[in-house]
Structure 1
Amino acid sequence: MNEFKQSVCALLILILANCYLNSLYAANPPAEPETVKKIKQVAIQVLATNPPQLFVAVSGEVPSGGFTDVTLTRVSYSKPPEDGIQDYYLKALPPTQPAIAVISEVKARDRWIGMPSWVKGIRVHGVEEGVKEKLFKDVQQRARPRVRRFKGISNSGSYDEAIKAALAKLNKALADDGVRDATATWKVSSVQGEVGGITGLNQLSVIIIANRQPAWKTQPDSAKTPPTAEQKQEKSE
């Protein structure tokens, strides 16, 4: 009987303790990160690596000290935005206890490995002095994705046969630079045919241009280097 009473008492103590903790939690809910009101400075750097990388550094102002867990959050999209601008939010956890009432600075960084080719710049959101935008065209030594051309030929005048031959070359080039599981966007650049002659020539050629994701090896816009042997070969394909 005594053991039963002890068990009941222990259970009641646990229930009361749990109710007390729940009341404390309800009275003082955990703080949520909030968007920094003022964005002071945004710096970006585009690295022409394979895959391309984007470094973003942002600083902002908060109304007091004590802000912690500062993060720079990249927005996810179901489809790329039409303007090609990637949105970011600078957020920080406000103080839960009295803090010094002095305007303070918070900073955060983001490194984006495998930045897609549609990104033309970034936009960092605050609240009051809300938005700062940086375009890649304003950044020196910006690297552009390398576009390659592939030529397919049909000696029977078949467009389907020529386009398949060009795509076969593109599919083979997807694995260049040791890249696996690459994809590419392509479009037809030109179609040309040649017929006649004693042999009854009926040749059709198709040239496609392609852009791989991740990009093939890139070259800065400002670089003025002569074409390599590989590039000359691509032009002749």
Structure 2
Amino acid sequence: MQRILEIRAVHLAVLQSRPTRLSVVAIGEVPTSGWKAPLLEPWFYIAPPEDGIQDFDFTAAPPFGIALEVVTPITAEILLERAPESYWGEGRPLKGVRVHARANVLEVPFEAPAEPQEPQVMDGPRWASPVNSGVISATDPISSLIGRELRVYHPGDALAFDWRQDRVNLQIDPGSRQIRAIAFG
């Protein structure tokens, strides 16, 4: 395993689960094709760091044999099983994460999430197919869906109990294949 070439982005998210878990996702680049098994490897400390930041090495297995000489994107994720507010022990919260690659280091501060909110259900018309709905004006409810992550499900599907402000949930009727409900969260 070797450190990847460069880190482009790091994202942190608190998962609304029991026990509370923190998701760390890193996006980077490798110098050739064929890299496998990307990992975020946490640094282990004898004593908690003074800055309260958890360090990770972004590593992957380099290719064997012939590989294309092209910069290729690569992604790794790790779930941390510790509550962020007591990550380093009682009263010692996680302040952020720092991910190391060969060419750079990216540090992202951790901001505690606001209290979970109930999903917001949109009132108004439902669309059978947004592609065929014609011109959309800024006053239409659908304009508030643009640029958000999308989760599509049918009634009765198992869903994670995580609330995400940047996500739109579409409930699809299995028979008619029309949108039954649109909710944020």
The Cα shift of 1:51 comes to: 3.6
Q: Select 1:134's aligned residue among 108, 111, 119.
A: 108
On the 8 A contact 1:84/1:120 being kept in 2, the answer is yes
Superposed, 1:79-90 pairs within 5 Å as: 79-90=47-58
SS, match of residue 64 in structure 2: coil
The Cα shift of 1:100 comes to: 1.1
What code does the residue aligned with 1:126 have?
Answer: A
Number of residues of Structure 1 aligned to a counterpart in Structure 2 = 109
Structure 2 match to 1:47 = 15
Structure 2 match to 1:123 = 98
On the 8 A contact 2:14/2:113 being kept in 1, the answer is no
- Give the gaps of 5 or more residues in structure 2: 117-185
C-alpha distance in structure 1 between counterparts of 2:106 and 2:48, whole Å: 20
Identity of aligned residues (%): 33
C-alpha distance in structure 2 between counterparts of 1:38 and 1:142, whole Å: 35
TM-score by length of 1: 0.43
What code does the residue aligned with 2:23 have?
Answer: F
Superposed, 1:99-110 pairs within 5 Å as: 99-110=67-78
Structure 1 match to 2:63 = 95
Structure 2 match to 1:150 = none
What code does the residue aligned with 2:47 have?
Answer: K
Offset from partner CA, 1:80-112 (integer Å, 9 cap, x none): 100000001110111110111111011110001
Q: Displaced runs of 4+ in structure 1, greater than 4 A?
A: none
The Cα shift of 1:56 comes to: 0.5
On the 8 A contact 1:59/1:106 being kept in 2, the answer is yes
What code does the residue aligned with 1:88 have?
Answer: F
C-alpha distance in structure 1 between counterparts of 2:16 and 2:45, whole Å: 24
**Per the alignment, do residues 60 and 107 of structure 1 end up closer, same or farther by CA in structure 2, a change over 3 Å counting?**
same
The Cα shift of 1:118 comes to: 2.8
The Cα shift of 1:52 comes to: 2.8
